[in-house]
Structure 1
């Protein structure tokens, strides 16, 4: 299936990308070995179900699936060029898993029985991509990414390699930090106390209850919700940056 091979391209060119050395060795070997899931519709459905269920679980690890996480999953889905039927299967799997009581580790164990080692490595890269799509690696996301290589049958060292990349990214991600201070209406010179006050003011200004009490249309409420999310993310990013500095 073409979409399986396309995952390689995503891993190399995607927003986060996979480990370059690992992928070079993998791509060189691709031409001389089969890399296609067995031609069996049932197996393909199981493959897609477990794959997109894992993406749903990592997206909801911190309690809410954000627009950035949905965009990351959608971008992945579009890149691998699923057929209409496979896309429907993937979307249904994502939705079901987002409310399922099954753990991501159960889905990972199922996936590892159907996918090659290379495919499991790529999916681990995509999990990182989704988790870090909002620029913040939450504690629960970090825990999943640390534990899941065992269930995917991957070397535990993969976690540390990706985590190091995150830290390296923070060195050049100054634009995101500047934007976060701008959203809160403060600066890098502001004290922690001043930043906290700015955060509270910004949240109060865009709180949905305040919009509702003014009798404004639903569109204003939606805008307030989006602004509140942006403010919370900006505050989390600033706190993390101050803690790591």
Structure 2
């Protein structure tokens, strides 16, 4: 786990950030970004994990507030998405609250967090889909995704570099207004032949395997959402396979 592998470093990071921002929310974004870049400059693997963690904490706070109120269900969902030991709870809670109150808007946060997640890869990072998945999980925690929340999720998707089809594939795993659309979940079309659908399914399973998540810097605290995503991919493939066999 991130908190086991880099406990001393993470604590130092949080202490430096919280000390730098004090109680003034307006300076949080700039100082957090600068801290991630400089404190872990010589340790790209830890920096990658910390960048993901900060993105989840900060954007979770922003998305939870998007409908005007932060519900208990959304806070609980954040704890599901981003588990952490009680010894770190005060640090995480303070950073969460500062981000929630920060004068910087969610677009500014999304832009800076995307840059942080890309710093170790030099380009678009699969890690950003992990972040977006987590934000959907939090947004739907109170029973529905409000219009304001969906607007922000769509905007975050754009900033993260998702095209319309890519964003729809993520959304289909979480929003089922007319029932689950297994084709949308896998990002395929009903007109595709089954071997092509199978290839796409296997590619997605490979991309989102727990070992791949670890390799790209996603800490194990996030794996509850990763397992939910794998379950959605498996269920979608099985539904299509059953439908094709029946036909």
TM-score (norm 2): 0.47
Higher RCO (C-alpha under 8 Å, 6+ residues apart):
2
